[in-house]
Structure 1
Amino acid sequence: MTATKTITAVELIARYAADIAFVAEEKPATTLEDFNEQLSTAAHRLGKTWADIQGAEELDTAVTYLADAIYSTDDAERAVLVNRAASYLCDLDEVVAEYRDMV
């Protein structure tokens, strides 16, 4: 059995904030709340409404998990929700790279 690496909200932001900020046309987020707001904007821009990039639909699910994490008062639950969101961002590099090629 392999252990799954957990990711904290800080690590999630550090890993993805620059790419999300590029798509959202903002400075990289430093809080989970700002990151999730930018992620929502990016999901819209990368999705069917604008760029229609395959894989972008995963971002909406990540937004939902992060919104739940933001409002969670239980640290363990929050950690689980952040990690679930992270699992939907694993292809973000490729999605943003395709978007960069388009713009």
Structure 2
Amino acid sequence: MATSTQPLTPANLISRYAADIAFVAEEQPATTVSDFTYQLGVAAENFEAAGIDGGDELEAGAQYLADGNAATDDTTRAVLLGKAAEYLARANGMADEYRDMV
């Protein structure tokens, strides 16, 4: 897997996953951290209801994203957003599995 040279920001994390998470949450794609973290929670519940593992990871990713967004220290922000990225890494695959079920 190629590594991105683009810095990790809340906006690029949202853009990576917003369309798939919105589909699962039955919403329009989120554009803000608060809307996206809310949709991650709804998606986690929908994944659980469909028997798809990983909802806990999404909820953890949402918390790291929110904390990273609020961080004022660049190093802390980078670490928290990195953790968010790790926890959200399976989101698109989970959404694909969900699509196959509905």
- Match status 1:41 vs 2:39: no
Unaligned runs of 5+ in 1: none
User: What TM-score, normalized by structure 2, do the two folds share?
Assistant: 0.82
User: What TM-score, normalized by structure 1, do the two folds share?
Assistant: 0.81
Structure 1 stretches of at least 4 aligned residues deviating more than 3 Å after TM superposition? 3-6
Paired residues for 1:1-103 under 5 Å: 6-47=7-48, 50-103=49-102
Unaligned runs of 5+ in 2: none
1:9-66 deviation per Cα after TM superposition (whole angstroms, max 9, x unaligned):
111111100001101111111111211111111111112xx11212333212112212
Q: In structure 1, what is the Cα distance between the partners aligned to 2:97 and 2:46? A: 12
State percent identity of aligned pairs: 52
Q: CA RMSD in A?
A: 2.0
How many residue pairs match? The answer is: 99
Structure showing the higher helix proportion among its residues: 2
